[in-house]
């Protein structure tokens, strides 16, 4: 995770555009991922995208944006649900159960991290690592991670657990207000891979639990989701780029496959040096063309 305390202005700027769409969705808060595809999209599309694209042949991102919104809300709902289980286990002193729930719970968050980052302090509150913030302000998942794996006790973690659940619920509530536009999608996909590049691939994200591969996979899945949604527009604009990105996603997935273990992934500590390097380089090989998806926004 990376953040600044101030909300990144590019995201703020990007967010001004779509207030109308956002409010439409406030009560559609359960998983409707299957039907959101293209029902009522065409009507408000031109107004919505004109600013973002600033091009005569303005691409229509309405459908992609609505589908992404649905995806984000779905992930958020699951995130809150699983966080409730996880923090419940922490509070009940069930260390082994909490450890088992920790990484899978985080995956829902990691898939939509750029959205959380657009919501001010929520990302540091939920996902700050020990040296990311002033010690007095440290809270969230990684504080509990340290308690579970390093201190091996949940005593004294009750407040942190409660706070985390509240923050997760706040994220769920606030996510309704995030204005999503094509620019956010494009930069968000790259940011997800940057997250991997900056901390997960080096094993620095989950320094106590070594569950970095869960985050790694979730970030990549989050980026891939965006790519899939933008694929039709991208294919129109630059078919070769669309194909390259698809191939590189496949290559990275293939690289990750051997590290699956049961429902989850092996510990980062089990990775050999050359395996880490290969993952890192495959990730960069994907992120480089992915960063050119901005071409669909026009010049």
Partner 1 sequence: MNKHDKDKQPTPTTNSEPSQKLLDTKVSRRDMLRLTGATGLGLLLGGGAMGSLLSRGGTAAKAPVAPVQADSSIPFYANHQAGILTPAQNFLYFAAFDLTTTKLSDVKKLLQEWTTAAAALTTGRLVGNTNDSPNLPPSDTGEADGLTPSRCTLTFGVGPSFFDERFGLAGQRPSSLADLPPFVGDNLDPAWCGGDLCVQACADDLQVAFHAIRNLARIARGTAVLRWTQEGFQRTGEADPKNGTPRNLLGFKDGTGNPDVTDEAEMNKIVWQGSGDGPAWMNGGTYMAVRRVRFRIEVWDRSSLSDQEATFGRHRQSGAPIGARDEFDKLDLKAADASGKPLIPADSHSALAHGDGTVKMLRRSYSYSGGLNAKTGQLDAGLLFISFQRDLVKQFVTIQQRLSRNDRLNEYMVHVGSAVFACFPGVREGGFIGDTLLG
**With binding defined as CB under 8 A, does residue 44 bind partner 1?**
no
**With binding defined as CB under 8 A, does residue 190 bind partner 1?**
yes
> Is 102 within 8 Å of 144 (Cβ atoms)?
yes
**With binding defined as CB under 8 A, does residue 63 bind partner 1?**
no
Sign of the torsion formed by the C-alpha atoms of 222, 226, 229 and 232: negative
Interface mask (CB under 8 A) for partner 1, residues 235-274, using x and -?
A: --------------------------------------x-
Tell me the closest approach of the beta carbon of residue 194 to partner 1, in angstroms.
Answer: 5
For partner 1, the binding residue among 131, 240, 263, 272 (CB under 8 A) is 131
The stretch among 8-16, 24-32, 142-150, 160-168 that binds partner 1 (CB under 8 A) is 8-16
What distances in angstroms separate CA 23 from CA 180, 186, 236, one per listed residue? Answer: 12, 22, 30
> Is 85 within 8 Å of 239 (Cβ atoms)?
no
Q: Give the phi and the psi of residue 196 in degrees, each rounded to 5.
A: -60, -45
Give the closest residue to 175 by CA, choosing from 77, 62, 44, 49: 77
Give 167: exposed, middle or buried? Use CB within 10 Å, 0-12, 13-18, 19+: buried
**With binding defined as CB under 8 A, does residue 57 bind partner 1?**
no
For partner 1, the binding residue among 134, 155, 240, 272 (CB under 8 A) is 134
**With binding defined as CB under 8 A, does residue 276 bind partner 1?**
yes
Tokens, residue 22: 């956002």
Tell me the closest approach of the beta carbon of residue 214 to partner 1, in angstroms.
Answer: 19
Residues with Cβ within 8 Å of 170's Cβ and at least 6 positions away in sequence, in order, are: 122
Closest to partner 1 by CB, 112 vs 192, is: 192
**With binding defined as CB under 8 A, does residue 2 bind partner 1?**
yes
Give me the residues that bind partner 1 (CB under 8 A), please.
2, 4-6, 8-10, 13, 131-134, 187, 190, 194, 197-198, 201-202, 204, 273, 276-278, 280-281, 284, 287-288, 290-291, 294
């Amino acid at each position: 995770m990376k953040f600044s305390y101030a909300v990144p202005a590019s995201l703020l700027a990007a967010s001004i555009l779509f207030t109308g769409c956002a409010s439409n969705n406030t009560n559609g808060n359960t998983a409707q991922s299957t039907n959101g595809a293209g029902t009522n999209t065409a009507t408000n599309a031109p107004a919505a995208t004109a600013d973002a694209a600033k091009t005569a042949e303005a691409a229509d991102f309405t459908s992609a944006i609505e589908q992404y919104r649905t995806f984000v809300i779905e992930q958020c709902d699951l995130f809150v649900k699983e966080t409730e289980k996880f923090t419940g286990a922490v509070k009940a002193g069930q260390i082994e159960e909490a450890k088992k729930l920790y990484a899978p719970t985080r995956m829902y968050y990691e898939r939509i991290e750029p959205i959380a980052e657009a919501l001010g302090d929520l990302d540091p509150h939920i996902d700050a690592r020990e040296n990311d913030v002033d010690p007095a302000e440290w809270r969230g998942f990684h504080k509990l991670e340290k308690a579970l794996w390093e201190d091996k006790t949940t005593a004294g973690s009750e407040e942190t657990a409660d706070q985390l659940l509240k923050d997760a619920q706040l994220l769920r509530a606030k996510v309704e207000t995030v204005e999503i536009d094509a620019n956010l999608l494009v930069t968000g996909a790259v940011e997800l891979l940057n997250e991997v590049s900056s901390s997960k691939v080096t094993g620095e994200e989950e320094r106590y639990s070594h569950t970095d591969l869960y985050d790694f996979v979730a970030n990549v899945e989050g980026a891939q989701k965006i790519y899939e949604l933008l694929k039709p527009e991208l294919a129109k604009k630059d078919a070769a780029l669309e194909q390259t990105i698809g191939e590189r996603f496949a290559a990275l997935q293939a690289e990750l496959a051997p590290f699956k273990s049961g429902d989850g992934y092996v510990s980062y500590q089990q990775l050999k040096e050359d395996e880490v390097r290969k993952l890192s380089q495959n990730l960069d090989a994907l992120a480089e063309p992915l960063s050119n998806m901005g071409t669909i926004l026009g010049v």
